[in-house]
Amino acid sequence: MSKFLAVVLCAVLYGSFVTSIPVNDSASSALSSSTASSSSASTSISTSQSRGGTGTSTASSAVSPSPTVPYASDDPNYWLWNETTTTDPQPERGKLGANILGPQNVPIDRQNPDILAPPTTDQGTVGNAKWPFSLSKNQLNTGGWVRQQNVEQMPIAKAMAGVDMRLEAGAIRELHWHQTAEWAYVLSGSTQITSVDQYGRNYVATVNKGDLWYFPPGIPHSLQGTNDTAEGTEFLLIFPDGTFNDDDTFLLTDWLAHTPKEVIAKNFQDYIMDWDMIPGEQLYIFPGTALPDDQKPPTSPAGEVPEPFSYEFSKVQPTQYTGGTVKIADSTTFHIATEIAVAEITVEPGAMREMHWHPTQDEWGFFLEGTARVTLFAGTAIAQTFDYQPGDISYIPTGYGHYVENTGNTTLKFLEIFNTDVFQDVSLAQWLALTPPSLVKQHLHLSDSTIANFNRSKGVIVGGPGAKVSA
> Is residue 456 within 8 Å of 432, Cβ to Cβ?
no
> Is residue 157 within 8 Å of 364, Cβ to Cβ?
yes
> Is residue 407 within 8 Å of 119, Cβ to Cβ?
no
What CA–CA distances, in Å, run from 414 to 6, 115, 304, 327, 356? 77, 21, 34, 11, 16
Out of 168, 182, 348, 416, the active site residue is 416
Q: Chain-centre distance of CA 427, in angstroms?
A: 15
User: What is the 3 state secondary structure string of the chain?
Assistant: CHHHHHHHHHHHHHHHHHHHCCCCHHHHHHHHHHHHHHHHHHHHHHHHHHCCCCCCCHHHHCCCCCCCCCCCCCCCCCCCCCCCCCCCCCCEECCEECCCCCCCCHHHHHHCHHHHCCCCCCECCCCCCEEEHHHCCCEEECCEEEEEECCCCCCCCCCCEEEEEEECCCCEEEEEECCCCEEEEEEEEEEEEEEECCCCCEEEEEEECCCEEEECCCCCEEEEECCCCCCCEEEEEEECCCCCCHHHCEEHHHHHHCCCHHHHHHHHCCCHHHHCCCCCCCCCEECCCCCCCCCCCCCCCCCECCCCCEECHHHCCCEEECCEEEEEECCCCCCCCCCCEEEEEEECCCEEEEEEECCCCCEEEEEEECCEEEEEEEECCEEEEEEECCCEEEEECCCCEEEEEECCCCCEEEEEEECCCCCCCEEHHHHHHCCCHHHHHHHHCCCHHHHHCCCCCCCCEEECCCCCCCC
Q: Which residues pair with 147 in a beta bridge?
A: 164
Instruction: Confirm whether 416 is a catalytic residue.
Output: yes
- What lies within 8 Å, CB to CB, of 383 at 6+ separation is 121, 122, 123, 124, 126, 375, 376, 377
Q: Which residues carry out catalysis?
A: 416
